[in-house]
């Protein structure tokens, strides 16, 4: 399975996952925010999927850039800008670098860096950063330890899950929920949960591809 | 609960189509963008004022496009900020030769997207500035004014910016006056019942019978405190007290007043409330200036209301008094 | 549900106090009467237009008092016509030297009380005429137009009367034009949820989830038919079809349009609805003229909306276009 | 008990009765109208009671005129105008005629005549006329048969009750409910029911007065 196919299949898979999770993510957002996170993610992913589906086969990086732009535009809101920026920055890095595990690692770091730069959140602020940042670190470590991309992804996933779960105990300091102070404690941050669902969708595609004994990643 | 819709995914698109069809004497659709622009825009010699945000707050935002108010409104999906791409396209459609001022409520999503668009325009050599509305005293304490979110105070800031721009002020001056209007505006709201996103069956939140939420956000962000429901006179007292406790520095004795309904609350109730608001303001030595009791920034069908005060001075008062014309507010 | 009130028995009094306190730049209280009059009234040389009815319909009625609209509004208790005594007092307060036109919705209580006041004024030598608004096609069949009740069409008739009076027309002419506007106005409404009188815990009526009431009255009088809830496009179709089937005689091709929200229905929903109303009108060969999508005649917090069409001619169009200023409508 | 006292006590009693019946009358009105009938009647009666309570002792007729004016003004609506007109016209007739049973009968007829003239309803239209008109006829007949006012009143009351009950089967042809056609069938007309409660309040006062063995009526 080529990297291009991983990107397109992951987006496809993500649409299915978020369709099933739309209401749940909406409820998580309603607890301290405005309840639209599920709808926003789904809108963005559908647009990204459509944009990539219609495109000529290009590099995985270019596809990700296109996906990010389509996502940001269709989704809107905070998560539109941030997830969109993540895809776009990761894609840019991937298309200028290589598609090895180390290249993927660099792309993830570039994506994370732009999200941090734009959103100014740090770990502990109860945002999507609390899931994304530990994942990128764990992926990095796994790659440094010699794992291939697919296996590093699988090994790193629990770090995102743990990070998302930990947001439940946090007080929000960024985004809509930040205005609530103590009353924002208790629920999982919807953006962090979405990071988990997105990364899991990619993981599912990668594991299938491994099972089919493909190579590239 | 939202009842009139077709496919919920088309809600934004259809409401914009309907809005533009109805008010084609004032506005037109921005070509290839999720926005509405004044018929006269772009207008050479004039700073363009671009407002925007998520849908679900009509008259905010498209209802305030027209002469003496905004040149354009960028409209996101319900409760979702418009994307940077849409902000950019609308900006390019209405920018003339004096620069552009963005005015919008201070929410993470809006800030991210308007900032990205601003940066892109600046890279192209277009002078764009931003004033974020931060009037909601419930959303952050004193000393953290810049972290507050924007609610019904949007109306005053848009009006000031629009009036300054239409008389030919330079961008820096329009920006300064809009920022000053914002700096002197305070709002506080209460909610009695939740709102429901189009296509959803469950309300975003519920207020138990006999209770009310203080400081609830216009997107259903939970309030800072829950209380038993009180008579209108006590609610008036509570709203005025919250705002006076946060009187901005440099405040004079004359205040523009907006009693804003969030959706399901009746105008009659707002007038009953205003009766005591008025008396309390007078008792506090303040002079209410051309009060407005209306739905200015709604929240779908939420039940509740807010009070906004803008402490005027000799610069701001003429801006509020200036004529304007738009679908929702004509002066 | 009505949430903001003090003693329900004081509701009318307090809302009028609040209204007059807020809009003292336009109106004042009629001394010793339950009514509101324009600052300039009585105005010599001008027919006085007096509108009125029960409370609970804001902007009807006090929101339409001001230059180019009504000279005064007589305000009854919630959903109760004002008494003849109050109508009389308000009439005396605003009558100048050209006579008085009463304009109000055709309800038993209003007819009884306005008629008694008219008779009393006539006995005193004051020329008073009445035009009753009868726009609701759901309330009586063709051929029984005079029996129909008045709903959102009030707005068009008031506007026509106000514009005719302010340009100096004689009483007979103001009466003729208001009657003509009424004769050419048709409305039809649907409701999705009931309203609650101040102080009551139970709604006046309920609409079952997933259903809607066709032809429901603005006071919660049950509709003529109950139906399952439909997509906005179908509701638009149903409203337009009902009105076109009742096209008045002498109708031309240009129609003034009002999409009216009853209270809890969102503006966004009204625009989604208007999108298809507009297309259907065009498809029927009609030209929508300066459509208004707003809350013009509400029904406390009822959920629902109505469509009104006024088939224009060369006499009526300038009356709708004429400038006016009031708390709720400025043109 | 003088006629003046009967009027003042009856109004007082009526306020109590309608206070207890406000919700019930509101529900009857909500079925086909706008739900305000109970509140409207109570508002009117309170004002009438207050107006009469503050007045110098005058003739019963003058008191009724005052009560009618206060009622009409405070109540508003259809029933304000109609019940108010009834009181006022009856009072006028009483103050120009005599306070005998025959005089009361004439007063009632004068009241009914004005209500019919103003409201233009006939029996069978499902309005207050359906209770008031049979009552007035029965009272007349009883007086013609030699009964005193108090006893004639008591004897005539069932005619009002029967008339009100019969409205349930009628289709409204006057007032708000008239627009409903067949859908207005089924409920008792609130105005007719109010007539019954009003007449019963008077009856209660008259019977007490008889028990106390007074004379005038
Ligand atoms: N400044 C920020 N930095 C990082 N993440 C943020 C920031 N603001 C918001 N988020 C993320 O966005 C999520 C909310 O997304 P969404 O509901 O789609 O947007 P909105 O708040 O505009 O309605 C939050 O749960 C949080 O994870
Ligand atoms: N034209 C009429 N003639 C006789 N009675 C009438 C007429 N119109 C209304 N009514 C009576 O008034 C009652 C309604 O009173 P109410 O609810 O107080 O007034 P409204 O209809 O103004 O809300 C009806 O039940 C009916 O008995
Ligand atoms: Mg959200
Ligand atoms: Mg949002
Ligand atoms: Mg009524
Ligand atoms: Mg009634």
Instruction: Determine the angle formed by the axes of helices A37-54 and A3-32, rounding to 10 degrees.
Output: 160
The interface predicted TM-score (ipTM) is 0.94
Question: In chain B, what residues touch C292 (CB-CB under 8 Å)?
Answer: 22
What distance in angstroms lies between residue D35's CA and the mean position of ligand 5's atoms?
A: 7
Q: Is A154 a pocket residue for ligand 1 (Cβ < 6 Å)?
A: no
Average pLDDT, chain B: 96
Q: How sure is the predictor about A31, in pLDDT bands with cuts at 50, 70 and 90? A: confident
- Do strands B225-228 and B211-214 pair parallel, antiparallel, or not at all (unpaired)? antiparallel
Atom 19 in ligand 1: which residue has the minimum CA distance? Answer: A78
- Across the interface, whether the CB atoms of C113 and D118 are under 8 A apart is answered no
Q: Which of C108, C204, C222 sits opposite D174 (nearest CB)?
A: C108
- Report how many Cβ contacts below 8 Å link chain B to chain C: 194
**Which residues of C carry out catalysis?**
219
- Across the interface, whether the CB atoms of C205 and D30 are under 8 A apart is answered yes
Q: Which of C81, C112, C217 sits opposite D179 (nearest CB)?
A: C217
Please name the residues in contact with B239: beta carbons below 8 A apart, sequence gap of 6 or more: B188, B189, B190, B273, B277, B306, B307
Q: Considering every ligand atom, which ligand is closest to the CA of A192?
A: 1
Q: Is A44 a pocket residue for ligand 1 (Cβ < 6 Å)?
A: no
**Average pLDDT estimate for C196-217:** 89
DSSP structure class, residue B102: E
Question: In chain C, what residues touch B19 (CB-CB under 8 Å)?
Answer: 271, 274, 293
What distance in angstroms lies between residue D191's CA and the mean position of ligand 2's atoms?
A: 6
Chains A and B touch (3+ CB pairs under 8 A): yes
Please name the residues in contact with C322: beta carbons below 8 A apart, sequence gap of 6 or more: C68, C159, C163, C166, C167, C331
Nearest to A152 by CA among A99, A206, A198, A193: A206
Query: C154 vs chain D: nearest CA distance in angstroms?
Result: 17
- Is the confidence at residue A57, as pLDDT, over 80? no
pLDDT for res D184? 72
Instruction: Determine the angle formed by the axes of helices B84-94 and B108-123, rounding to 10 degrees.
Output: 50
User: Picking from B88-92, C41-45, D94-98, which range would have the lowest pLDDT averaged per residue?
Assistant: D94-98
Terminal C-alpha separation, chain C: 32
What distance in angstroms lies between residue D191's CA and the mean position of ligand 5's atoms?
A: 12
Give the neighbours of chain D: at least 3 Cβ pairs within 8 Å.
Answer: C
- Name the residue of A128, A164, A177 whose CB sits within 8 Å of the most ligand 1 atoms, as the mutation to test its pocket: A128
Residues of chain B with pLDDT under 50: none
The number of C-alpha atoms within 13 Å of D133 and in the hemisphere containing its C-beta is 18
pLDDT for res D213? 59
Structure tokens at D212: 């106390």
pLDDT for res D171? 87
pLDDT for res C331? 96
Mutate which of C8, C76, C83 to disrupt the D interface (most D C-beta within 10 Å)?
Answer: C83
Q: Is D114 a pocket residue for ligand 2 (Cβ < 6 Å)?
A: no
pLDDT for res C293? 98
Query: B14 vs chain C: nearest CA distance in angstroms?
Result: 5
Q: Is A106 a pocket residue for ligand 1 (Cβ < 6 Å)?
A: no
- Across the interface, whether the CB atoms of B85 and A73 are under 8 A apart is answered yes
Structure tokens at A60: 């995985």
Q: How sure is the predictor about D179, in pLDDT bands with cuts at 50, 70 and 90? A: low
Average pLDDT, chain C: 96
Q: Is C85 on the interface with D (CB under 8 A)?
A: yes
pLDDT for res A165? 97
Structure tokens at B202: 């469950």
Q: Is A37 a pocket residue for ligand 1 (Cβ < 6 Å)?
A: yes
Cβ neighbours of D157 (radius 10 Å) = 18
Read off the pTM. 0.95
- Is the confidence at residue C223, as pLDDT, over 80? no
Chain A: residue whose CA lies nearest to B145: A179
Question: In chain B, what residues touch A26 (CB-CB under 8 Å)?
Answer: 197, 200
Which residue's structure tokens are 């509108």? C51
pLDDT for res A13? 97
Structure tokens at D174: 């006057």
Phi and psi at A102, nearest 5°, equal: -65, -40
- Across the interface, whether the CB atoms of B266 and C291 are under 8 A apart is answered no
Nearest to B259 by CA among C22, D136, C58: C22
- Name the residue of A120, A160, A166, A191 whose CB sits within 8 Å of the most ligand 1 atoms, as the mutation to test its pocket: A191
Are the CB atoms for C114 and C102 separated by under 8 Å? yes
What distance in angstroms lies between residue D75's CA and the mean position of ligand 5's atoms?
A: 10
Distances in Å between the Cα of C38 and the Cα atoms of C42, C94, C155, C162, C312 are: 8, 9, 17, 12, 28
Q: How sure is the predictor about C103, in pLDDT bands with cuts at 50, 70 and 90? A: very high
- Across the interface, whether the CB atoms of D34 and C84 are under 8 A apart is answered no
**Average pLDDT estimate for D79-97:** 95
Chain D: residue whose CA lies nearest to C218: D34
pLDDT, one tens digit per residue, over A135-144 is: 999 999 999 9
**Average pLDDT estimate for D111-126:** 95
Q: Which of C77, C139, C200 sits opposite D179 (nearest CB)?
A: C139
pLDDT, one tens digit per residue, over A58-115 is: 899 999 999 999 999 999 999 999 999 999 999 999 999 888 999 999 999 999 999 9
pLDDT, one tens digit per residue, over A137-194 is: 999 999 999 999 999 999 999 999 999 999 999 988 876 677 677 777 789 999 999 9
Pairwise CA distance, residues D46 & D37, whole Å? 14
pLDDT for res B259? 98
Q: Which of A33, A78, A179 sits opposite B112 (nearest CB)?
A: A78
Chains B and D touch (3+ CB pairs under 8 A): no
Nearest to B226 by CA among B191, B182, B251: B191
pLDDT for res D168? 94
HEC sequence for chain D? CCHHHHHHHHHHHHHHHHHHHHHHHHHHHHHHCCCCHHHHHHHHHHHHHHHHHHCCCCCHHHHHHHHHHHHHHHHCHHHHHHHHHHHHHHHHHHHHCCCCHHHHHHHHHHHHHHHHHHHCCCCCCCCCHHHHHHHHHHHHHHHHCCCCHHHHHHHHHHHHHHHHHHHHHCCCCCCHHHHHHHHHCCCCCHHHHHHHHHHHHHHHHHHHHHHCCCCCC
């Amino acid at each position: 399975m080529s990297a291009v196919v991983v990107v397109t299949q992951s987006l496809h898979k993500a649409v299915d996952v978020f369709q099933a999770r739309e209401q749940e993510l909406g409820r998580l957002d309603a607890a301290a925010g405005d309840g639209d996170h599920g709808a926003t993610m789904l809108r963005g992913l559908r647009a990204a999927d459509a944009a990539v589906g219609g495109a000529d086969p290009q590099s995985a990086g270019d596809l990700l850039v296109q996906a990010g732009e389509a996502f940001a535009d269709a989704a809107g809101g905070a998560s539109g800008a941030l997830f969109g920026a993540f895809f776009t920055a990761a894609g840019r890095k991937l298309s200028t670098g290589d598609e090895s595990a180390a290249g993927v690692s660099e792309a993830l770091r570039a994506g994370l860096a732009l999200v941090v730069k734009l959103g100014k959140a740090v770990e502990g602020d109860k945002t999507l950063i609390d899931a994304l940042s530990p994942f990128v670190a764990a992926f990095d470590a796994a790659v440094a330890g010699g794992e291939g991309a697919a296996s590093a992804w699988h090994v790193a996933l629990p770090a995102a899950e743990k990070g998302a779960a930990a947001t439940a105990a946090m007080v929000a300091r960024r985004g809509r929920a930040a205005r609530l102070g103590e009353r924002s404690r208790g629920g999982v941050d919807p953006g962090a949960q979405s990071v988990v669902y997105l990364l899991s969708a990619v993981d599912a595609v990668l594991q299938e591809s491994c099972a089919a004994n493909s190579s590239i990643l | 609960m939202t009842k009139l819709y077709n496919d919920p995914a088309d809600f934004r698109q259809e409401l914009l189509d309907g809005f533009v069809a109805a008010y084609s004497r004032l506005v037109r659709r921005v070509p290839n963008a999720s926005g509405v622009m004044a018929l006269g825009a772009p207008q050479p010699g004039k700073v363009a004022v671009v407002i925007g945000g998520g849908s679900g707050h009509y008259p905010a935002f498209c209802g305030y496009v027209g002469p003496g108010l905004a040149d354009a409104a960028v409209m996101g999906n319900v409760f979702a900020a418009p994307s940077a791409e849409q902000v950019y396209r609308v900006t390019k459609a209405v920018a003339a030769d004096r620069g552009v001022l963005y005015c919008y409520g201070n929410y993470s999503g809006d800030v991210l997207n308007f900032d990205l668009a601003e940066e892109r325009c600046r890279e192209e050599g277009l002078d764009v500035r931003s004033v974020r509305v931060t009037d909601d005293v419930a959303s952050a304490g004193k000393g953290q004014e810049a972290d507050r979110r924007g609610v019904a105070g949007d109306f005053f800031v848009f009006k000031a910016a629009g009036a300054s721009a239409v008389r030919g002020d330079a961008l820096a001056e329009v920006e300064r006056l809009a920022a000053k209007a914002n700096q002197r505006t305070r709002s506080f709201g209460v909610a009695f019942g939740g709102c429901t996103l189009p296509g959803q069956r469950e309300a975003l939140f519920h207020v138990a019978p006999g209770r009310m939420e203080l400081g609830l956000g216009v997107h259903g962000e939970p309030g800072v405190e829950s209380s038993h429901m009180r008579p209108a006179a006590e609610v008036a007292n509570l709203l005025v007290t919250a705002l006076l406790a946060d009187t901005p520095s440099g405040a004079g004795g004359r205040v523009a007043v907006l009693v804003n309904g969030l959706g399901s609350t009746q105008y009659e109730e707002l007038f009953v409330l205003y009766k005591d608001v008025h008396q309390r303001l007078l008792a506090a030595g303040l002079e209410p200036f051309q009060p407005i009791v209306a739905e200015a920034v709604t929240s779908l069908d939420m039940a509740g209301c807010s009070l906004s005060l803008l402490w005027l001075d000799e610069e701001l008062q003429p801006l509020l008094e200036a004529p304007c014309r738009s679908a929702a507010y004509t002066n």
